[in-house]
Amino acid sequence: MSTLLAELTRRRDCADVMHALILLADHLDQHGSPIDYARRRALFTTCACFVSPEDWQDLQRRLRSNHTPDIGHAQRWIFHTLTGSPPRFAHPDIAPATPAQRQQYQRFRWRILPAEADLLTHTARTILDEHGIDEPLQWVPRLDAACLRQLRLPGPDPDSITVTRLHQAVPSGDFSIARLAQALDTTTAHVAYLLSRHPIDWSPPRFRHTQRTATRTWQWRTWYERDHLSLQDIADREGTSLATVRLALLKHDVPLRPAGSYPGRPRKKVNCVRGVPFRSLSGRCGAARC
């Protein structure tokens, strides 16, 4: 930050940038922050593992066929999110040691898939809860727009492109961020920022179904174990196939009940004619007569 401020002071075209930073500092002095970053850095800078390798690898098996991101990027993402510090200040085991690793981490941030972001966000939130930290996971101060309106700041307004427009512009499958920036008539830095804030499912169509399954399985498990819905009920509710629900629960080691039953569910009475159910005689229950 000291180097940045010195550079801003030397450049005549950065006077408004310096003024914006002063407004931000005044805002923080007056209103403070709901996050105690000093406490978080003291707690988590010495940690080398935040997300379980098993959880990460299990998710990757369901999301991607190849080019699996290094788990080190996932650890850096959580450290970065929790502390607000660049990953180079993390534990040596996960801190990027070379310029190439730092570049790869930045690429990971804007190419992250929604299911990956959900897992990492949930993990970071759980870590805060385990330490008794009742704070938002992340926070962005909001300055008075009137104070900034007259300033000439470099680059586009970060919020000038809506999430909907961003989603519509991203193609299916792999893509070039330079071409995406060209399509949105903005800079690559702006697009990278937007994608890191709003992860997009850019994976090939055949993997999108598995990604949605990965994000919904925990809900399916709750419906199945707590609410005693059948596999078919869950499939109907979600608009998917019975096989998809069955395989997803089996992958999460959920013991499946015999079809048509759950613990404590009373057995249905079947009216019979000479030992044969009515339904099997006519196709309509109760329609058969002796």
264-274 pLDDT tens trace: 555 555 455 55
Residue with tokens 């940045």: 4
| Residue 157 backbone phi and psi in degrees, to 5 | -65, 125
For the stretch 144-163, pLDDT in tens is: 888 888 888 888 888 899 99
Split at pLDDT 50, 70, 90, the class of 217 is: confident
| 28 vs 251, more confident | 28
- Alpha carbons 22 and 36: distance in angstroms, whole number: 21
Q: What's the CA angle centered on 97, arms 92 and 98, to 5 degrees?
A: 175
pLDDT at 3: 87
Q: Residue 97 burial (CB < 10 Å; 0-12/13-18/19+)?
A: exposed
Higher pLDDT, 287 or 216: 216
Handedness of CA 90, 95, 100, 104 (dihedral sign): negative
- Domain boundaries of the chain, sorted by first residue: 33-130, 155-164+171-197, 205-251
Look at residue 67 in the predicted model and tell me its pLDDT: 62
Whether the pTM exceeds 0.75: the reply is no
Q: What is the pLDDT of residue 208?
A: 59
